[in-house]
Amino acid sequence: MKIAVNHLARIEGHANLVIDSVRGTVRELRLEIVEAPRFFEPMLTGRHYSDVAHIAARICGICSNSHTLVSLQATEQALGIEVSEQTQSLRRLLAFGEILQSHLVQLFFMALPDYYGEASILPLVHTERALVQHALELKKLANDILRVVGGRPVHPVTPVVGGFARLPEAADLQELRRRLVRVLPDLEASVEIFGSLDYPDFERDTDCFSLRGGDDYPLFGRQLVSSGGVDCAVEDYRDVLEEYLVPWSTAKFARLQGRCFMVGPLARLRNNFDLLSPMARQVAEALGLTPDTANPYRILAARLVEVVHGVERAIHLIDELLLAGLQAEEPLPPQRHGRAVAVIEAPRGLLFHSYSYDAQGRIEQADCLIPTAQNLANIEADLRARVPELLETGREELTRQCEQLIRAYDPCISCSTHLLTIDFA
């Protein structure tokens, strides 16, 4: 039996799935990434530090805030610029806003139709109107967090090297807080929806790679850990991570100490379960998630737990900002030049930016490592383990569950296609 799913639906970008099996054995399985390479690093090379974050944001239309924030942090560390506590809090609020925005789109608009037997969310407008209305209201709130703090929902304009070009109005933050508090009870409906889904019964343990939070569930950090025993500083990421090419992908694949691995919501949750907010931990337990959960279909549930955590933390951050009072700050100039590595827990997982700057404040060398590229080999490994279990179910059911599995990772294909050379021979 040969199955070819061209242009997988409800993921960002273009990818194909090819499965070839003979007498119950999978002979070939490929997750083909067919987007054109986009050459991120050469575009950044030679650019002045004041331009870099705005260019880096264009790598992605979904994770543009994460690319902006990690780019700013890498630049500031390389140039010896220390930002204020106020700037750090506003950036964390922006990061939570993007996690909410991205997770809600994936949960309700990309993944949920699979479990209702629909090709998209549009038929649910008629059959599950309250659910769709609920999803749209949550998504609008996330957009408004990004608009108030970052200047607009996509490709933020207010975060700059050393701080913010414009601060949010206190009244706007107060309004966001009011809406976030109001939405908390509504999230119970989301928990009921995703708690009632019939997740396929499949487990494959893998190495879960993430930041390890100090006293909070991680967004930014300096220490990388994995469930398989990796424990290293962010600066040493290239000592444990290796990118490599495969003939069927224009995106690089990645290994962690020679093995495929997982990044993203479930990996973060497994490595930082004890650091979830109280309500998020209750939701995790209600959804059957533990630090040992190894069912990749349940990445959806982990994503919802992070939505709850993000809402709670956003409320607390706004409280802290309003209590301290927003103060206008003048961004500091560079103090030195050199190399630095920064990482953020973007919605889909670890996002690395590494820059070297010359004395004129221009990038000499850039390296960007994208979450989806880190997950691609693990998705293929999951599929190789899952497909033999589904061969007897028939072509249609096998295809449906394989697509479900891929969508659970929420791959962002456009972000991941940035290799420099590839041999198609």
Task: Write out the two tokens for 145.
Answer: 């967090």
Alpha helices in 259-418 (DSSP H): 265-271, 278-286, 299-324, 371-390, 395-408, 413-416
**In angstroms, what is the C-alpha Rg of the chain?**
21
Q: What angle do CA 270, 305, 10 make, to 5 degrees?
A: 100
Asked if residues 168 and 260 have their Cβ atoms less than 8 Å apart, the reply is no
Phi-psi region of 338 (alpha: psi -120 to 50; beta: other; left: phi over 0): left
Task: Write out the two tokens for 65.
Answer: 């805030």
Q: Report the half-sphere exposure of 43 (CA within 13 A, side-chain side).
A: 16
Asked if residues 311 and 180 have their Cβ atoms less than 8 Å apart, the reply is yes
Residue type, 273: F
Q: Is 260 annotated in some ligand binding site? A: no
Asked if residues 33 and 249 have their Cβ atoms less than 8 Å apart, the reply is yes
Q: What angle do CA 252, 91, 369 make, to 5 degrees?
A: 10
Distance CA 82, CA 79 (A): 9
Residue 353 parent element (H or E): strand 349-357
Give the residues across from 236 on adjacent strands: none
Asked if residues 93 and 310 have their Cβ atoms less than 8 Å apart, the reply is no
Q: Of 224, 93, 236, nearest to 156 (Cα)? A: 93
DSSP 149-203: HHSSSSS-SSEETTEESSPPPHHHHHHHHHHHHHHHHHHHHHHHHHHSS------
Residue 142 parent element (H or E): helix 129-150
Q: Is 63 annotated in some ligand binding site? A: yes
Strands 25-33 and 163-164: unpaired
Q: Is 41 annotated in some ligand binding site? A: yes
In the chain, what is the greatest distance between 2 CA atoms, to the nearest angstrom? 69
Task: Write out the two tokens for 13.
Answer: 């970008």
Q: Is 402 annotated in some ligand binding site? A: no
Distance CA 409, CA 111 (A): 10
Binding site as annotated, residues for Ni(2+):
60, 63, 412
Binding site as annotated, residues for Fe cation:
63, 415
Binding site as annotated, residues for Mg(2+):
41, 418
Binding site as annotated, residues:
41, 60, 63, 412, 415, 418
